[in-house]
Structures are given as C-alpha cells and as structure tokens.
Amino acid sequence: MIKRSITLAKRIAKLSLSKKAEDILILDVRKLTTVTDFFVICSGNSDKQVKAIADVIMDELKKINIKPWHKEGYQHLQWVLLDYVDVVVHIFQKEVRDFYSLERLWGDAKITNVNDN
C-alpha cells in the first residue's frame, strides 16, 4: 500500500509538471497523520493554469481507473484539492499558497522537491 501511494504521488507530481506547475513538493505525512500518506503541493499562475493542472491529473488517472474520492475548489480555481485518499493534491494560485503555507504547517514532514531534472 505504501509503495502504491508514493508511486501515485510521484505520478501526480510529474503530471503537474506537464502543465508547467511551479514549486512542486511531495510531503510525506505518514508519521504525522492518519488522514493520508502524502500531500502533493504545487502552484499555478492563473485560473486557467490551475484548471489545466487539475484536469490533467484527473484525466490521466481516470485512464487507469483512479478517480478522486473528493474534490474541492474547482469552481473558483484559487485552491483546488483532489483527494485520492492515500495522496491529497493541493493546487494553488501563488498568493493563496503563500497565505495558507501548508509547507510550514506540515513542517515536520519529509519534503521532496520535484522539478524537470
């Protein structure tokens, strides 16, 4: 189960990269909460980019029969949350991300930066 969740988190991070998401982080929160195993956090620069990131994640995972258990924020596109149970995705516009600062809130998590390299 843990291998599946880290694999899913990495796949989601790479999908977000495909839509030019910025500052992509995977937070390992397994030792901090029982709610989920990983958070994937990323930023977009506009409503359109946030929507494109959310859409590519949902569309590509749906192709392999993985659908979000819950989603929020799709109407306003400031902060979209996609809950895949073992992995929760947070797609922010930069100002909203700075305001909520989930990385700081979950500062004890092991954090992995994801980039094109």
- Amino acid identity of residue 19, one-letter, is K
CA-to-CA distance for 59 and 100, rounded, in angstroms? 27
Q: What letters, b where the CB count within 10 A reaches 16 and e where it falls short, cover 24-47?
A: bbbbbbbeeeeebbbbbbbbbeee
CATH superfamily of 2-107: Beta Polymerase, domain 2 (3.30.460.10)
Global pTM value: 0.93
Domain locations along the chain: 2-107
In order along its 117 residues, the chain shows pLDDT tens digits of 457 899 999 999 999 999 999 999 999 999 999 899 999 999 999 999 999 999 999 999 999 999 999 999 999 999 999 999 999 999 999 999 999 999 888 989 999 999 876
**What is the DSSP-derived secondary structure letter of residue 77?**
-
The neighbouring-strand residues paired with 91 are 42, 80
